Chain A
Amino acid sequence: MNQQLRRAAYRTGMFFVSIALVAVLWELYKVVGPEKGGKLFGVAILPRSNDTAMPHIWEMLSRYAEPEMRSPNSKLIWFVVLKGAFYSFRLALVGFVIGSIIGVALAALMTRFKTMERGLLPYLVISQTVPLIALAPLVVSWGGKLEIFGFTWPRWLSASVLGAFLAFFPIAVGTLRGLKSAPAASLELMDSYAASWKQTLFKLRFPAAIPYMVPAFKLGASGAVIGVVVAEISTGLKGGIGRLIIEYARQATGDPAKVFTAVFGAAGLGLGMAGLVALADVLLMRNRPKETTT
C-alpha cells in the first residue's frame, strides 16, 4: 500500500514536471525563435515568436484574474472559463454515458454472435472515418425534426450525441477484446456448471474484461470531450468551452492571451473526465493481482 502511494506521488510529480518542461520550452523558443517566423529548407515551418502569436506563460495565467470584457460589470475570466468548462463537462458526461451503453452493448452482441462481429465491425471502423465537422450539422437538423411522445430534442443533446459518436468506438473495441479475454479453461468450467450465456457474461466475461475496459473507457472519455467541443464550435452552441475558444480566438489580435485560458479550460475538462475513469479503475481493481494494474 505504501509503495502504491509512493508510486502515485511519483506519477503526480512527473505530471507537473512535464507541464513545467513544456512551459520552459515555450519561453525558450520565444527567446531564440524568429520574431516574424522562419523558413527551414524553404518551407515556412518555424512559428512566429512575437507576443501576439505566442504570449508569455505568465500573461496567460494572469489573464485568468482579469475581467472577461472591458465593460464595468464584466465577470472575471476564470469564472467564465470554469462555467463554460462545467457546461461542456455535463454535455460530455451525457455523451460518455450514451457512448458507453452503446459501446458495451455492441461488444456484448459481437461476443454473442460471431456473424455480428464480422458484419458489424467494419462499419464501426468506417463510422470513425466520417469527419465530425460534416456530421455535426446533420445531427442538429435530424434532432430538430425529432419529436417522440412530447419529447423535443434540445440543442445541447446534438453535441452530446456527437460526443457519444466518438466515445463509443474505443469502448466497443476494448470491451470486445476484454470479453474475449476470458481463458478457455474458465469458459469450460462455466460450461461444466451448465451456466447460461447470461451467467457466463456477468460472472466471468465482464469481470475478466475490466482490465481491458478501463483504458478503453479512458479513450472514450476524452473522445466524448473532443466530440462535444467540436460540436459546440461547428453548430454554434452557446454556453460551453468550445464556444469560448472560437469567440476568444477571434479576439486574438488584440488580446492574445485570452484564447489560451479557454484552451487550458478544455484540456482541464479532458483531464477531469479521464480522472473520473481512473477513479473507477482504482475502485474496480483494488482486489486484483498487482501485475495487471500497471
Chain B
Amino acid sequence: MSAVHVAGVSKIFNQGTPKQVDALVDVNLTVEPGEFVSLIGPSGCGKSTLLRLIANLLEPTTGAVTVNGKTAAQSRLDQDYGMAFQQAGLFDWRSVAKNIELPLELKGWDAEKRAARAKEMLELVKLPEFADLMPWQLSGGMQQRIAIARALAAHPPLLLMDEPFGALDEMTREYMQGELLRICAETKTTVVFVTHSIPEAVYLSNRVVVMSPRPGRITEVINVNLGESRSEDTRAADNFFAGITAVREALRGTHADHANAGAIRGVEDR
C-alpha cells in the first residue's frame, strides 16, 4: 500500500468565471512508505496546491487522492499526517511543550500521556531544555524544529512540509536539512516536501518531482538517491552536483518557450 496515491487529479479555481485558474491538470503521483519526495517548480506551478490536496485542505476538482489506503478526507480525520509550514506558526500563548501537545489535546489525550510525548518529541528535535520557554524566546531555527516536533507528535506515518526552511538563513537551513533527515530516519516517516531550492530538494530527496505552471502539471520525476548516510561531505560530492544539474535541466525544460531565460523565476539556484 502506497503512502500517497494521487490519480488523475485536477484542481481548477473559480471554474467557469473569467478568473479561472488551472492550478493542476491531470496529476498522477505515488509515494511509497519511507520515501522522501520533493515537489519543485516555479511560482504558480501548483506544488503547494498539490500538497494541500494531499492534506485534504483542498478538494480536487476531478480525480482522487488516497493517503495510507484511505480517502484524503478520512486520513485527515484520523490525523494520518503532520504538517509544517514556512512560518513555524507556533501559538504565542502556549509554552513550547504545550505547543507540541496541541494535536494530542485535540485528539483528547490525557495530560500525563501528552506530557510524556512532548518530552519524547523535544528529545527527538534535541531541544529538551526548552520545554517551558515561550515560542518567542526561541530563534527561528529552533521554532521550526518545535513545529516539526508538533507535526510528528501524534506519530503520523506521513509528514507534509510546505517550504519549511524557506525563512531560515543558509547555515541554519543546511543544519535543519541534516536534522530532518535524521528525524525521518529515526521515525521512519514518509515525507512530501515543497521547496524552491534545487540543492535542498536534491540533498533531501529520494525523488524530485519537477512541476511547471500554466497549467500546473508534473513534467518530470528525477531519481536522486544520494544514499542513506548523507553528511556535509555529500554537498561536495559529484552525484550531488549531478542531481542538481539534472533537476536544473528539467526546470529549464519547463521554460522551453523562453529558452534564453537565464535564471528561472521563483527557483533558487544556489
Please tell me if the beta carbons of A287 and B93 are within 8 angstroms of each other in the complex. Answer: yes
User: In the docked arrangement, what's the CA distance between A292 and B134, Å?
Assistant: 14
Chain B residues numbered 67-126 whose CB sits less than 8 Å from any CB in chain A: 76-77, 79, 81-83, 85, 87, 89, 91-93, 95, 102-103, 105-107
Please tell me if the beta carbons of A193 and B103 are within 8 angstroms of each other in the complex. Answer: yes
Tell me which residues across on chain A come within 8 A of B55, comparing CB atoms. 192
Whether B242 sits at the interface, judged by CB under 8 Å, is no
How many Å from the CB of B146 to the closest CB on chain A?
Answer: 13
How many Å from the CB of B48 to the closest CB on chain A?
Answer: 11
Please tell me if the beta carbons of A199 and B92 are within 8 angstroms of each other in the complex. Answer: no
Chain B residues numbered 110-167 whose CB sits less than 8 Å from any CB in chain A: 134, 136, 160
Whether B185 sits at the interface, judged by CB under 8 Å, is no
Please tell me if the beta carbons of A194 and B77 are within 8 angstroms of each other in the complex. Answer: yes
Whether B57 sits at the interface, judged by CB under 8 Å, is yes
Chain A residues numbered 82-122 whose CB sits less than 8 Å from any CB in chain B: none
Q: CB within 8 A of A185: which of B81, B87, B105?
A: B87
Whether A288 sits at the interface, judged by CB under 8 Å, is yes
User: In the docked arrangement, what's the CA distance between A231 and B116, Å?
Assistant: 56
Q: CB within 8 A of B106: which of A183, A186, A195, A208?
A: A195
User: In the docked arrangement, what's the CA distance between A186 and B82, Å?
Assistant: 14
Tell me which residues across on chain B come within 8 A of A192, comparing CB atoms. 55, 57, 76, 81-83, 160
User: In the docked arrangement, what's the CA distance between A185 and B87, Å?
Assistant: 8
How many Å from the CB of B81 to the closest CB on chain A?
Answer: 7
Tell me which residues across on chain A come within 8 A of B95, comparing CB atoms. 287
User: In the docked arrangement, what's the CA distance between A195 and B107, Å?
Assistant: 8
How many Å from the CB of A52 to the closest CB on chain B?
Answer: 55
Tell me which residues across on chain B come within 8 A of A207, comparing CB atoms. 91-93
Please tell me if the beta carbons of A188 and B79 are within 8 angstroms of each other in the complex. Answer: no
Tell me which residues across on chain A come within 8 A of B160, comparing CB atoms. 192
Tell me which residues across on chain A come within 8 A of B91, comparing CB atoms. 186, 203-204, 207-208
Please tell me if the beta carbons of B57 and A188 are within 8 angstroms of each other in the complex. Answer: yes
How many Å from the CB of A181 to the closest CB on chain B?
Answer: 12
How many Å from the CB of A26 to the closest CB on chain B?
Answer: 45
> Are A183 and B83 CB-contacts (below 8 A) given A192-B76, A194-B76?
no
In this complex, what residue of B is CB-closest to A190? B106
Chain B residues numbered 168-197 whose CB sits less than 8 Å from any CB in chain A: none
Whether A25 sits at the interface, judged by CB under 8 Å, is no
Q: CB within 8 A of B92: which of A185, A193, A195, A289?
A: A289
Q: CB within 8 A of B85: which of A185, A193, A199, A210?
A: A185
Please tell me if the beta carbons of A288 and B92 are within 8 angstroms of each other in the complex. Answer: yes
How many Å from the CB of B45 to the closest CB on chain A?
Answer: 20
Whether A189 sits at the interface, judged by CB under 8 Å, is yes
Whether A191 sits at the interface, judged by CB under 8 Å, is yes
Q: A190-B106, A194-B79 are in contact. List 6 more A-B contacts (CB 8 A).
A: A185-B89, A194-B77, A199-B106, A204-B91, A208-B91, A288-B136
26 example contacts (A-B, Cβ-Cβ < 8 A) are as follows: A183-B87, A185-B87, A188-B83, A189-B85, A189-B89, A192-B55, A192-B81, A192-B82, A192-B83, A193-B79, A193-B102, A193-B107, A194-B106, A199-B106, A203-B102, A203-B106, A204-B91, A207-B91, A207-B92, A207-B93, A210-B93, A287-B134, A288-B136, A289-B92, A289-B134, A289-B136
Closest 5 CB pairs of A and B: A289-B136, A192-B83, A207-B93, A194-B77, A185-B89
